[in-house]
């Protein structure tokens, strides 16, 4: 896809803000869902299966369902594992023990990690500007993990390291998607296959460990949080394609700033979270790192 020429219409900025705000709220919803009694595997499973089912229904209505050949099935399985199942399991496991703002800041490292992996695999070229962004991102993470961050609980550092598994997996998924994406594949169909595969893998893990979570009544706050997470997963992908088609991938990359700031603000609003000077400095470094690492051209 090439970057559309000209300034995007004003409404696209509003859609970008809405998408980032919704995504940022998912960190707080994860804390609510798991903290209220939902098991990480069970909650993450319903988010993947629910979001994937809605996208599958949209694809069927468009008469463009996910292809089911062996090549596509392998793509769904690998991206579902690295982009949905593994990071969701890590993210939801750590969510009850970390502030929502910290979770959103750690996930912001995905662009930096993706660039680092691309360099290691010779899929991208060395750029002074992007290396500087990678360095700033690593400095931001170091501040979060450092002794001055005042992470909650005696095991705060351990849970932060567990949460870091998520952006590492997302970066791997980005690399896999870029290298092995089937040519001329429909993006919405791929997203449906990826979400459903990830959800089914999480379901298998939940069944194996006996940690399923029923969505049947009586319903409680966990069910409401799961429903909102499914809606966010669905609308996020829909709005993603809206922005991508009208403004291009470089414009869309700016959503990372909105997601991070919204995640911090949602945590402050819903949980009364407060952060020390080192965390605020880390936020500045991470946002600066994203600004430098994101490509300037499509």
DSSP string over 41-75:
HHHHHHHHHHHHHHHHHHHHHTT-PPP-SHHHHHH
Give just the sign of the alpha carbon dihedral 38, 52, 85, 141: negative
Mean pLDDT of the chain: 87
pTM for the structure as a whole: 0.87
Q: Which two tokens stand for residue 217?
A: 């009544």
Tokens 């819903």 belong to residue = 270
Q: Is 192 exposed, middle or buried, given 0-12, 13-18 or 19+ CB atoms closer than 10 A?
A: buried
Task: Name the pLDDT band for 233 (thresholds 50, 70, 90).
Answer: confident
By CB neighbour count within 10 A (0-12 exposed, 13-18 middle, 19+ buried), where does 238 fall? middle
Would the pLDDT of 80 be above 90? Answer: yes
Q: pLDDT (tens digit, 9 = 90+) per residue, 123-158?
A: 888 888 989 999 999 999 999 988 777 788 778 899
Distances (CA, A) of 171 to 27, 114, 225: 18, 4, 26
CA distance 298 to 296: 7
**Sign of the alpha-carbon dihedral angle for 90, 124, 4, 251:** positive
């Amino acid at each position: 896809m090439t970057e559309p020429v000209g300034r995007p219409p004003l409404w696209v900025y509003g859609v970008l803000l809405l998408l980032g705000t919704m995504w940022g709220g998912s960190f707080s919803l994860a804390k609510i869902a798991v903290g209220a009694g939902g098991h990480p595997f069970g909650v993450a499973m319903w988010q993947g299966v629910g979001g994937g089912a809605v996208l599958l229904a949209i694809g069927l209505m468009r008469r463009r369902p996910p292809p089911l050949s062996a090549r596509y099935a392998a793509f769904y399985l690998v991206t579902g594992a690295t982009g949905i199942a593994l990071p969701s399991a890590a993210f939801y496991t750590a969510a009850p023990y970390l502030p929502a703002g910290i979770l959103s800041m750690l996930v912001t490292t995905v662009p930096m990690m993706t660039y680092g992996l691309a360099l290691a695999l010779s899929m991208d070229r060395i750029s002074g500007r992007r290396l500087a962004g990678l360095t700033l991102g690593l400095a931001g993470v170091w501040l979060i993990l450092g002794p001055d961050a005042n992470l909650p609980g005696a095991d705060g550092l351990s849970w932060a390291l567990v949460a870091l598994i998520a952006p590492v997996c997302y970066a791997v998924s980005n690399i896999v998607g870029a290298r092995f994406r089937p040519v001329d594949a429909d993006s919405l169909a791929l997203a449906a296959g990826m979400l459903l595969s990830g959800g089914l893998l999480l379901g298998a893990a939940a069944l194996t460990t006996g940690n399923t979570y029923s969505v049947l009544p009586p319903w409680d706050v966990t069910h409401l949080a799961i429903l909102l997470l499914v809606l966010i997963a669905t609308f996020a992908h829909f709005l993603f394609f809206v922005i991508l088609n009208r403004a291009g991938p470089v414009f869309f990359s700016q959503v990372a700033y909105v997601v991070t700031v919204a995640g911090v603000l949602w945590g402050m609003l819903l949980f009364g979270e407060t952060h020390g000077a080192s965390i605020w400095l880390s936020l500045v470094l991470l946002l600066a790192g994203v600004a430098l690492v994101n490509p300037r051209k499509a």
